Amino acid sequence: MRRPKNREPSAQNRQVEAEASDGEGGGDTEMIQQETAPVPAQSKKTKQPKECFLIKPKETKEDATKTKRRRKKKITDVLAKSEPKPGTPEDLQNLMKDYFSSSRSVIELEELNLPDSCFLKANDLTHSLSSYLREICPKWVKLRKNHNEKKSVLMLIICSSAVRALELIRSMTAFRGDSKVMKLFAKHIKVQEQVKLLEKRVVHLGVGTPGRIKELIKQGGLNLNPLKFLVFDWNWRDQKLRRMMDIPEIRKEVFELLEMGVLSLCKSESLKLGLF
């Protein structure tokens, strides 16, 4: 038997297949064109953010005064504006009452009052140390010659520091003459060394700090009974414009020293207090 020959597609069939393939390919191209078509740009332009600057309001006089009031005042500022005034016995009495007011009753506070006869004339800020000591103790030469007790002094000058004590010793050369002067402070000097010196020789004048003088009294190296004059370096001010009684530590030591027999000697009128 003879096999049928493969007939070639007719022209009409080729035309139909071409049209079908063209239809399928055209749809794909239209979808690709829709997917890759660029997005149209927005017609309105986006606004760029603007920078903002805060303007500080001008400071008025009232605001300036408020800030000054808020600023904490220092003791140096207060003392710098205050005029120097000489110390008075009332100043010492008032400070003593304020210090003991929290630990003593009203009756005990009244017992602390010292009569006016206990106080020497205060320095009016016109004296040097030598001229002031001459005024309050015109018979010093006679007293010095009659003093022969060891472990004691005739006059004590109390100040706030060792440096100030050395300055006072140099400034009293015209008054002291041949008097024996002893440094009574803690800088570079041990207590036991000072006790031995007081035991060996007669001393007329002692210049030092209240803390060291207290310690010498506690250890028996210094007897206050022969003491005739106790002078406070009251009006002198340091670099911070503080007087010795403006410093809390010194003020505390001074009042503790007064309790160690000084007040009783003042009331018996055997000891006089001076404010230089």
**Strand arrangement of the beta sheet that strand 205-208 belongs to:** 181-184, 205-208, 155-158, 229-232, 272-275
Range among 49-53, 73-77, 86-90, 213-217 rated most confident? 213-217
Instruction: Compute the distance between CA of residue 150 and CA of residue 226 in angstroms, rounded to an integer.
Output: 10
State the pLDDT at residue 23. Answer: 46
Question: For residue range 196-239, what is the model confidence (pLDDT) as tens digits?
Answer: 999 999 999 999 999 999 999 999 999 999 999 999 999 999 99
As a whole number of angstroms, the longest Cα–Cα distance in the chain is: 177
Residue 205, CB half-sphere, CA atoms under 13 Å: how many?
22
Question: How much is the mean pLDDT over the chain?
Answer: 81
Cα–Cα dist 120/110, whole Å = 21
Tens of pLDDT, residues 120-136: 999 988 999 999 999 99
The DSSP bridge partners found for residue 207 are 157, 183
- What's the whole-model pTM score? 0.70
Q: Where are the beta strands (DSSP E) in the chain?
A: 155-158, 181-184, 205-208, 229-232, 272-275
93: Cβ contacts below 8 Å, ≥ 6 apart? 112, 113, 114
